[in-house]
Amino acid sequence: MTEPVVRNRVDRRRERTRNALLGAARKFLSEGRSAVSIQEITDAADVGFGSFYNHFDSKEQLFDEAVRSALQVYSEMRDGIVALYDDPAEVFAVSFRMTGRLQRQSPEMVRVLLHSGTSILLRDEGLAPRARRDIIAAQQAGRFEPMHPDMAVLAAGGALLGLLQMLDAQPDADADALTDEMTFHMLRMFGMNKRTAQKLTAGPLPPQPRL
């Protein structure tokens, strides 16, 4: 009768250890310290060295999972917000505006993404596939001019990463205003007229959930 309780307790302990390792990895990545040793990671996570290999085969696998988990947090937040909108061009605009503001809300998570570089745009989760889907939908709806979706994602993604990097380097900058300005220019690049682009970047945004 007690076996399920013991198993659940073990599972919870394993989950805590795994989350501690992921938290330590995200911290190191946010500081640009990917050359740390496994010993340094387990020390930072306050877990035994041997526990590492119960969860990950290598440091590279841990860091990859740390990036993936950061993207998952972003994706769940983003998806919940844009579900309120039907216009795919507005979905793109809201998503871009929301993501720029994320730098002030969760700077450590954003730094994890920044230290991944442009390779973050080639992953199958997070930023790129959602942007690609939104852009294609906006093109099909006649809201954006035709453009190769992969080129469009790289252009928008590169602009977004540059914006996030600038905001990280300038903590006193007006993140809301700069993000909206960059969103405006992205919409114009995709062929939207000035008046419509201004309208999509001037409206209020829903409250962002706490991370």
What are the residue boundaries of the structural domains of the chain, listed by start? 3-56, 63-202
Q: Are 114 and 131 in contact (CB under 8 A)?
A: no
Q: What pLDDT score does 4 carry? A: 52
Quickly state the pLDDT bin for 75 (edges 50, 70, 90).
confident
Report the predicted TM-score, pTM, of the whole model to 2 decimal places. 0.83
Q: Which stretch of 31-40, 154-163, 170-179, 193-202 has the lowest confidence by average pLDDT?
A: 31-40
Question: Who contacts 74 (Cβ-Cβ below 8 Å, separation ≥6)?
Answer: 99, 102, 109, 113, 126, 127
Domain over 63-202 is classified CATH 3.40.50.1980: no
Residue 176 has pLDDT above 60, yes or no: yes
Domain over 3-56 is classified CATH 3.30.420: no
Arithmetic mean of pLDDT, 118-147 = 90
Q: What pLDDT score does 110 carry? A: 87
Residue 135 has pLDDT above 90, yes or no: yes
Number of residues that this document lists for the chain: 211
Q: Could you give the CA distance from residue 21 to residue 43 in angstroms, rounded to a whole number?
A: 9
Arithmetic mean of pLDDT, 82-88 = 92
Please give the residue that has the higher pLDDT: either 194 or 33: 194
Quickly state the pLDDT bin for 77 (edges 50, 70, 90).
confident
Give the DSSP H or E segment for 138: helix 127-140
Q: Could you give the CA distance from residue 200 to residue 103 in angstroms, rounded to a whole number?
A: 21
What's the chain's average pLDDT?
Answer: 89
Residue 43 has pLDDT above 90, yes or no: yes
Q: Which amino acid is at 139?
A: Q
Q: Could you give the CA distance from residue 92 to residue 133 in angstroms, rounded to a whole number?
A: 9
CA 76 → CA 25, 92, 127, 128, 205, distances in Å?
Answer: 21, 16, 11, 14, 17
Question: Who contacts 116 (Cβ-Cβ below 8 Å, separation ≥6)?
Answer: 29, 67
Identify the top-confidence range among 25-34, 110-119, 136-145: 136-145
Q: Could you give the CA distance from residue 139 to residue 55 in angstroms, rounded to a whole number?
A: 43
